[in-house]
Structure 1
């Protein structure tokens, strides 16, 4: 999706140099940015690539680190759930009103919004599943599995 957007932008630049324009590149690139961002947070979650501050965590014993990791993933899941829940109201309103972009493309806004929201929904589902997994591992004191699932990743 990003590469198509880049190619579209390059063609737009070349077309403008020749005195023409395809139009809509800024609108479409905005949609692509929002959609890839919402899906990207899920990918970052599964790759343990989200930014975390390790100042306190590195000084703790494994059981305390596991507890801190559990709190972190629960906080992330709660945030993702709120964004997905509130994001749906944006999509629902657009669907009910049939809103279109106030641009020459007149994009039906439900299309990019639904793709954007589905990324947030997937992030929320992924985070909640990780919470369930971490709680199971916390219950049986499997700190190593928690570290592997939601720990600091490659920064250690």
Structure 2
């Protein structure tokens, strides 16, 4: 399940990268055109919407890539089982927050839909469009986090600690960074 979520989120990450590149190109084109006395208009508004949408969807991509920040001061000195317990606690906390924010994001979108709200800008963007994409990103993050936690709990129930670390641990880059930091500290002594 975790590998499938990672594969889907790699595709999502690719789409997010393309959207970001298109947003950058649009802003650059608008800035250049302003120098010539013309403007595409709305680049500030559209780029703001893009950043909100990219951020909410990017959370699930970061989860799949194990790129969320962790404080590993305690974790680094523990056994494999001890690290697994902290990884499970971190995953449970992340899933809880993701579900809570997605749950609380729905009323924002719901009121916008109910009122037919539009942006108070020259574009008069129907706000359900950017808010719907933003909410969908939070919902996807909540689903990914909950499914990842479920898979991790199933792995933990089998007491397969190395597999659990591969599934929700820091990842090889994080472990390598910690090992490098330890070597530097040892060299200083």
Identify the TM-score tier after normalising by the shorter chain: over 0.9
The residue number in structure 2 matching 1:7 is 25
Structure with greater contact order relative to length (CA < 8 Å, sep ≥ 6) = 1
Q: How does 1:1-156 map to 2 (within 5 A)?
A: 1-153=19-171, 154-156=173-175
Q: Secondary structure at the match of 1:141?
A: coil
CA distance in 2, matches of 1:92, 1:28: 21
- Pairwise CA RMSD of aligned residues? 0.7
Query: CA offset at residue 3 of structure 1?
Result: 1.2
The normalised TM-score by structure 2 is: 0.81
Query: CA offset at residue 146 of structure 1?
Result: 1.1
Which sections of structure 1, spanning at least 5 residues, go unmatched?
none
Query: CA offset at residue 118 of structure 1?
Result: 0.5
Query: CA offset at residue 10 of structure 1?
Result: 1.1
Query: CA offset at residue 4 of structure 1?
Result: 1.1
Which sections of structure 2, spanning at least 5 residues, go unmatched?
1-18, 176-189
CA distance in 2, matches of 1:155, 1:110: 39
CA distance in 2, matches of 1:10, 1:84: 33
Between 1:121-130 and 1:138-147, the stretch displaced more is 138-147
The normalised TM-score by structure 1 is: 0.98
How many residues are paired up? 156
